[in-house]
Amino acid sequence: MVVCNSRSLSSSILLVFLFCFFSFSHGVPHLHALRSPSLSSGELIEEAKYVAEITKGTLRTLLQEVPPGNENSSLVLAAERTYRKDPLNDFKRYTGGWNIDDRHYWASVSFTAAPLFLIAAVWFLGFGLCLMLICLCHFCCTRQSYGYSRIAYALSLVFLILFTIAAIVGCVVLYTGQGKFHNTTTKTLDYVVNQADSTVKKLNEVSGYLGSAKQTGVNKVFLPSNVQTDIDNIEAKIDSSASNLSNQTSKNSQRIRDLLDSVRMALIVIAAVMLLLTFLGFLFSLFGLKFLVYLLVIIGWILVAGTFILCGIFLLLHNVTADTCVAMNQYVQHPAAHTALDKIIPCVDNATAQETLMRTKEVSSQLVEVINTVISNVSNINFAPNFVPMYFNQSGPLVPKLCNPFRPDLTNRVCSAGEVDYDNATQVWKTYVCQVSASGICTTTGRLTPSMYDQIGVAFNLSYGLYNYGPFLVSLQDCTFVRQTFTDIYRDHCPDLRHYSRYIYIGLVMVSAAVMLSLVFWVIYGRERRHRVYTKNYDRSHEENKATT
């Protein structure tokens, strides 16, 4: 599911960044107009210009689409594993590697199961023909004298018992195999669903932080209305991605769960029916119930053909699973290569992603500076009442500045004393909010009006959103997230998936072969048994004749 949706997800994430930086590059200069002349030549504007400048460059890199599969550097996934004969191409070897879009891939992997399909066909036709001949003989041929051999009789009995036991063992293998297979597939599915859900949760959180820009009413110091529209768009994009991902996840996971349950049920039924068939067939032929034996033979004839086909399907599934596991591993191992997965999961290259990450840090850091400038140059200064836009009767203890998590060179910085950090800055600032008169002048002690507090909160949320979720958004953009998911699947789930799909396939082969041979020996043993009875009767009547003469 992650895979299905990552195309739209990635492109929307790309859009998010586009909008994000677009907003800042256009939005920040508005500070210029909104701040009073006393600050117009101050640092605030310089910073704003700087933010605009650095984001323009980012825009250009982000606009570049993910480069299409470059033939020169493309990596054939699971090349060794998938080097198989391709019946669609004159049985030449298939060299395209793992690629579920390629019908040659499917043809070549289906061909691995060909022997099993062939056995099913040969059995169905061959044994059908035998049954017809037996029928014909039964009705048309005259009874010939029977030759009876003790050895043939004993051998047929031994084989009958042997194949019955083999069939029972096969059923047990199949039954335990399906339990484990179901367990493994469910665990894998749960893991993938969990990854998707945590992505949706984080996207919703990001959306929550960006969404605070939506607040309307108070005059916008940091976010003029056109910027707000852009941020609303970003938020809508993220929400729609999250909603799509969530809807697809729940829909697909339910479908897959239903499918797995059906497979499980089908395998249990097959194991049970085969067990019953073997057991009854053995009993009936032992007691010489000819009609019932032939009835079971006909049922078994069709069932065995069916299980051989199922076997083929499981072998195919097993091979595709193993191919996919190898392909996922190679995809993770070669992050720079272009592969068949690029069509499904488009990723930006590492350099672009690192660039984006730097930009999120930079913008986040600049927003902190903007907030701090307002705090130190407006809130924490006692202006004369005639200094109108700056004066709002601010008084009381000074508002602490927000800790900038980055140094100017964007390396991590530890907070200095007296700074508040992202964790509780808004709570701390809340204690500095005063009550205001109708004209927006503080009537109680405090250095932030409620409207200022809200606007600082919006800038804070944007800064925090980029700081906290930037790496996550970048990991979606450059597929680090997908690679991590693949690594986990390859390490934790692939061995079991491979092992138990093989287990089921072997169980099915055992059951089909053993039941097939049992069927044959029900008929052979039945005949031998009748010959024996007939010969005994013949001998007895012969001796009686001798005795009377």
Ligand X SMILES: *[C@@H]1O[C@H](CO)[C@@H](O)[C@H](O)[C@H]1NC(C)=O
Tokens, residue 479: 């597929």
Residue 441 lies near ligand X (rule: CB under 6 A):
yes
Helix (H, G, I), strand (E, B) or coil at 86: strand
450-477 vs 150-211: helix crossing angle, rounded to 10: 150
User: What is the smallest separation between the CB atom of 215 and ligand X, expressed in angstroms?
Assistant: 6
Q: Binding of ligand X at residue 484 (CB under 6 A)?
A: no
What single-letter DSSP state applies at residue 437? -
Q: Which of 445, 484, 537, 541 binds ligand X (CB under 6 A)?
A: 445
Q: What residues pair up with 86 in beta bridges, in sequence order?
A: 92
Q: Which stretch binds ligand X (CB under 6 A): 55-63, 125-133, 167-175, 420-428?
A: 420-428
Return the amino acid letter for 75: L
Among 194, 243, 254, 382, indicate the residue that binds ligand X (CB under 6 A). Answer: 243
Minimum Å distance from CB 471 to ligand X? 12
Point out which span in 75-83, 292-300, 422-430, 507-515 binds ligand X (CB under 6 A).
Answer: 422-430
- Sort 156 into a burial class: Cβ within 10 Å, 0-12 / 13-18 / 19+: buried
User: Residue holding tokens 């850091």?
Assistant: 365
Q: Does 12 bind ligand X (CB under 6 A)?
A: yes
Residue 388: name the closest of 33, 11, 38 by CA.
Answer: 38
Return the closest-CA partner of residue 437 out of 446, 428, 426, 427: 446
* DSSP letter, residue 419: -
State which of residues 36, 198, 262, 376 lies at the interface with ligand X (CB under 6 A).
Answer: 376
Write out the two tokens for 545: 């004749």
Contact between 349 and ligand X by CB under 6 A: the answer reads no
Closest CB 221 distance from ligand X, rounded Å? 13
Helices 2-27 and 480-488: crossing angle in degrees, nearest 10, is 150
The binding track of 26-65 with respect to ligand X, each residue x by CB under 6 A or -, is: ------------xx--xx----------------------
Q: Which window, 129-137, 321-329, 452-460, 517-525, contacts ligand X (CB under 6 A)?
A: 452-460
Q: Which residues pair with 402 in a beta bridge?
A: 420
**Structure token digits, residue 398:** 């000074």
- Residue 379 binds ligand X, judged by CB under 6 A: no
Position 424 contacts ligand X (CB under 6 A)? yes
CA angle 279, 281, 287 (to 5 degrees): 105
Between the CA atoms of 115, 118, 120 and 122, what dihedral angle is there, to the nearest 10 degrees?
Answer: -130
Stretch of 16-24, 146-154, 237-245, 511-519 lying at the interface with ligand X (CB under 6 A): 237-245
| Nearer of residues 208 and 495 to ligand X, judged by Cβ | 208
Q: What's the CA gap between 174 and 296, in Å, rounded?
A: 21
Distance, in Å, from the CA atom of 167 to the CA atom of 278, rounded to the nearest integer, reads 7
CA neighbor of 371 nearest in space, from 431, 461, 442: 461
Please report how close the Cβ of residue 441 comes to ligand X at its closest, in angstroms. Answer: 5
Is residue 454 at the binding interface for ligand X, with CB under 6 A as the rule?
yes
Q: Which stretch binds ligand X (CB under 6 A): 104-112, 298-306, 453-461, 529-537?
A: 453-461
d(CA 257, CA 51): 49
Residue closer to ligand X, measured from CB, 249 or 307: 249
Instruction: State the minimum distance, in angstroms, from the CB of residue 240 to ligand X.
Output: 4
Q: Are 493 and 192 in contact (CB under 8 A)?
A: no
Q: Give the span between the Cα atoms of 549 and 546, in whole angstroms.
A: 5
Q: Any contact of residue 352 with ligand X (CB under 6 A)?
A: no
Question: How many residues interact with ligand X (rule CB under 6 A)?
Answer: 38
Q: Does 386 bind ligand X (CB under 6 A)?
A: no
What whole-number distance in Å separates Cα of residue 363 and Cα of residue 375? 18
Of the candidates 142, 216, 416, 427, which one interacts with ligand X according to CB under 6 A?
427
Report if residue 526 touches ligand X, rule: CB under 6 A: no
Which amino acid would we find at residue 137? C
The yes or no reply on residue 475 touching ligand X (CB under 6 A) is no
> Taking CB under 6 A as the rule, does residue 428 contact ligand X?
yes
Helical packing angle, 350-374 and 2-27, nearest 10°: 40
Span from 85-93, 178-186, 243-251, 291-299 in contact with ligand X (CB under 6 A) = 243-251
CB of 443 to ligand X, least distance (A): 5
Site membership for ligand X, residue 333 (CB under 6 A): no
Find out whether 463 and 364 touch, Cβ atoms under 8 Å: yes
Exposed/middle/buried for 355, CB within 10 Å: 0-12, 13-18, 19+? middle
Record the tokens describing residue 255, joined without a space.
Answer: 């479908």
Residue 229 makes contact with ligand X by CB under 6 A:
no
Give me the 195-224 binding string for ligand X, x by CB under 6 A, dash otherwise: -------------xx--x--x---------
Smaller CB separation from ligand X, 181 or 209: 209
- Between 22 and 521, CB nearer to ligand X: 22
- Rounded-to-integer distance, Cα 38 and Cα 384, Å: 13
Binding region for ligand X (CB under 6 A) out of 254-262, 271-279, 439-447, 493-501: 439-447
Least distance in angstroms from the C-beta of 354 to ligand X: 5
Judged by CB under 6 A, the residue of 442, 448, 462, 466 near ligand X is 442
408 binds ligand X (CB under 6 A): no
> What torsion do the CA atoms of 89, 92, 97, 103 make, to the nearest 10 degrees?
20
In the bound state with ligand X, the residue whose beta carbon lies nearer, of 98 and 429, is 429
Query: Helix (H, G, I), strand (E, B), or coil: what is residue 406?
Result: strand
Chain residues that interact with ligand X, rule: CB under 6 A: 8, 12, 38-39, 42-43, 70, 72, 208-209, 212, 215, 240-241, 243-244, 247, 335, 350, 354, 373, 376-377, 393, 395, 424, 427-428, 437, 441-445, 454, 457-458, 461
